[in-house]
Amino acid sequence: MRYIKFLILFNVVFSFSGCEKDVDVKPKDYPYVITISPKVNEEGAEFLADLTNLGKQEILKYGFVWSKEPNPKIQEYYKLYEDKPETGIYKWTLNSGLSKGQTYYVRAYILTNQCEVYGNVKSFKSLGSLPPVIYNFTPTYGPIGTQIIIEGANFDLSKTGNIVKIGTVKVNIESVSETLIIVTIPETTKPERAPISIETAGMISASKDTFDLWFPWKRLKDFYDENYYSDPVSFTLNNKGYFGLGVNNTTFWEYAPAVDTFIRKNDFPKLIDEFPMSFTANSRGYVLFLDSHYAWWASNINELWEYDPINDSWLRKADFPGLKRLHGVALGINEKGYVVTGEYWDEYGNIHYPKDCWEYDPYDNKWIRKADFPGYDRPATSGFSINGVGYIGNGATAIYKYDPESDIWTYETEYPVNGNNFSKSFIINKKCYLGLSGNHSNSDFWEFIVEDKTWKKMHSCPTNLEVIFSFSIGSKGYIGLRSDFYDYNKIIYEFDPSKN
């Protein structure tokens, strides 16, 4: 034990690794290093040490460790060399991460193939250090989860010693060195195009170039309209979006994405106190009003109206001959319209769920009865069409496909979560984007690829409000939301799946 006491007197600490505790330790078997007081200036500090004895063990690494706490260890800040050491003075200059006025502790460090050796501790009061500098970063754009490599100088050598942001979004630091930081974009709720900034020791520097942080949902200019919309219709015609009408409402709007503006179109020609459905066919929009209440106030409406976007005009077409219903599905397939599912009440107040399916041919202005829907009862479900076939689903989880050529319904797949009533959907590049809900209950959104029947979860809409309309224009989708029925201000979001 006399050898251990000898080492302690000289302020050298050994950490044994893989050695028996009762081994007779001799000082000359181990390297011996003395920490020299640092040279401090406004640009940082120069660390120095005197390696007086190499010992008999293989030296793997050597250098310095430092911290704001006494007796710093390798788990904290460190700078290590891996080249072959020599006896005598070795030194290193630290120009980053030192806060002005802060007291730090430093000591030399040696790692052998058997143990760790720490030198004596020296303290110093910092006069400051150089600010971080960003020279370059790659890539220059990307969605959540993208890894960014930032090149520069004077970065703090600890992950926690640097704060990296893209605009206002704080990113996750994966690794750091004096000249390189690798970060990953975390979950966020908005897109942002902004410089990258790094804060080290209270000093902040920003990049000259901007990073385009992708997020699929982008809030656009709010739309103010002094009308109440209860179940309005919405659809796309000729790369323009349309929405309006609903119960006791005749106003109708066209959305121009190039200028982010809603343009008032000709009002619907009459006031109807019923929930409408809509579909598109033959480059026109169709709105169907069906009174489903058999009671003293019922007006027994079954009207179909055609909207011509070229002439901005409304024209009544052939009345619907099927069972009248509320919250059914209407969709266009191969330039024809189809109406199916829903709910209605009989004269005794009993609720029923019709399965009859009807096809509307705009060329002949006729309705034709088609094969009944085979699935479970489902009011307030959603429907869409891709590649000449229709899909009905997610009022319950089962999705059914309808082929108009064969007039056959087939079970297709399951919606990945519990079915949401009043869900919204639109088609972009032959993929369906489906989810949300019309009753504040769900902001989840999914991509459905019909070819292989797969679902991919998209980033949720940042605002969980009532969705009153949805349509797609080109490669983007658009939704309108409101906080309550009497909200004049409609919140508009643009959805870009390429930035998910």
Is the pLDDT at 146 greater than 90, yes or no?
Answer: yes
Answer with the residue of higher pLDDT: 417 or 129. Answer: 129
Domain boundary among 125, 148, 174: 125
Q: Residue 388: its pLDDT value, please? A: 94
- The pair phi, psi for residue 260, each rounded to 5°, is 50, 55
Q: Residue 117: its pLDDT value, please? A: 92
Do 164 and 260 reside in the same domain of the chain?
A: no
Q: Residue 303: its pLDDT value, please? A: 92
Q: Residue 436: its pLDDT value, please? A: 80
Residue 311 makes CB contacts below 8 A (sequence gap 6+) with: none
Domain boundary among 67, 102, 125: 125
Do 195 and 315 reside in the same domain of the chain?
A: no
Q: Residue 208: its pLDDT value, please? A: 95
Is the pLDDT at 378 greater than 90, yes or no?
Answer: no
Domain boundary among 188, 213, 238: 213
Q: Residue 247: its pLDDT value, please? A: 84
Do 368 and 277 reside in the same domain of the chain?
A: yes
Do 119 and 26 reside in the same domain of the chain?
A: yes
The Cα–Cα gap between 181 and 166 comes to 14
Is the pLDDT at 153 greater than 70, yes or no?
Answer: yes
Q: Residue 164: its pLDDT value, please? A: 97
CATH classification of the domain holding 180: 2.60.40.10
Do 191 and 224 reside in the same domain of the chain?
A: no
Is the pLDDT at 383 greater than 70, yes or no?
Answer: yes
5, containing H or E segment: helix 2-9
Do 193 and 238 reside in the same domain of the chain?
A: no
The Cα–Cα gap between 304 and 358 comes to 13
Q: Which domain holds residue 254?
A: 217-499
Mean pLDDT of 327-339: 93
By DSSP bridging, strand 445-449 and strand 32-41 are unpaired
Mean pLDDT of the chain, nearest integer: 87
Count CB atoms within 10 A of the CB of residue 464: 15
Do 326 and 448 reside in the same domain of the chain?
A: yes
Is the pLDDT at 149 greater than 80, yes or no?
Answer: yes
- pLDDT, tens digit (0-9, with 9 covering 90-100), for 343-358: 888 777 788 888 999 9
Answer with the residue of higher pLDDT: 230 or 237. Answer: 237
- pLDDT, tens digit (0-9, with 9 covering 90-100), for 175-192: 999 899 999 999 988 898
User: Residue 73 class from Cβ within 10 Å (0-12 exposed, 13-18 middle, 19+ buried)?
Assistant: middle
Q: Residue 23: its pLDDT value, please? A: 34
Is the pLDDT at 154 greater than 70, yes or no?
Answer: yes
Is the pLDDT at 52 greater than 90, yes or no?
Answer: yes
Residue type, 363: Y
CATH classification of the domain holding 22: 2.60.40.2060
Q: Residue 393: its pLDDT value, please? A: 78
User: Residue 369 class from Cβ within 10 Å (0-12 exposed, 13-18 middle, 19+ buried)?
Assistant: exposed
Is the pLDDT at 136 greater than 70, yes or no?
Answer: yes
The Cα–Cα gap between 132 and 96 comes to 7
**Burial 204-242, CB ≥16 within 10 A → b, else e:** ebbbeebbebbbbbbeeeebeeeeebebbbbbbbeeebb
CATH classification of the domain holding 323: 2.120.10.80
User: Residue 302 class from Cβ within 10 Å (0-12 exposed, 13-18 middle, 19+ buried)?
Assistant: middle
Q: Residue 498: its pLDDT value, please? A: 94
Q: Residue 5: its pLDDT value, please? A: 28
- The pair phi, psi for residue 115, each rounded to 5°, is -160, 175
From 120-124, 217-221, 304-308, 488-492, the region with the lowest mean pLDDT: 488-492
Highest mean pLDDT among 41-55, 222-236, 246-260: 41-55
Do 22 and 51 reside in the same domain of the chain?
A: yes
Contact status, residue 242 vs residue 234, Cβ threshold 8 Å: yes
Contact status, residue 296 vs residue 289, Cβ threshold 8 Å: no
From 22-31, 159-168, 231-240, 401-410, the region with the lowest mean pLDDT: 22-31
DSSP 48-78: EEEEEE--SSPEEEEEEEEESSSS--TTSEE
- pLDDT, tens digit (0-9, with 9 covering 90-100), for 456-471: 999 988 877 778 889 9
- The pair phi, psi for residue 380, each rounded to 5°, is 55, 35
Question: For residue 124, which of 56, 29, 199, 38 has the smallest C-alpha distance?
Answer: 38
∠ Cα 96 99 105 (to 5°): 85
Length of the chain: 500
Is the pLDDT at 248 greater than 90, yes or no?
Answer: no
- pLDDT, tens digit (0-9, with 9 covering 90-100), for 436-451: 865 545 678 889 999 9
SS3 475: coil
Question: For residue 59, which of 36, 92, 89, 82 has the smallest C-alpha distance?
Answer: 82
Q: Residue 11: its pLDDT value, please? A: 43
Q: Residue 458: its pLDDT value, please? A: 92
Q: Residue 437: its pLDDT value, please? A: 66
Do 106 and 230 reside in the same domain of the chain?
A: no
Do 299 and 165 reside in the same domain of the chain?
A: no
Specify the number of domains making up the chain: 3
Q: Residue 224: its pLDDT value, please? A: 86
Count the helices and strands in the chain (H runs, E runs).
1, 44
Q: Residue 493: its pLDDT value, please? A: 92
Do 221 and 197 reside in the same domain of the chain?
A: no
Do 209 and 221 reside in the same domain of the chain?
A: no
The beta strands (E) that lie in 201-334 are given as 203-213, 217-219, 223-224, 233-237, 240-244, 252-256, 261-264, 276-281, 284-290, 302-308, 313-316, 329-333
Mean pLDDT of 104-132: 95
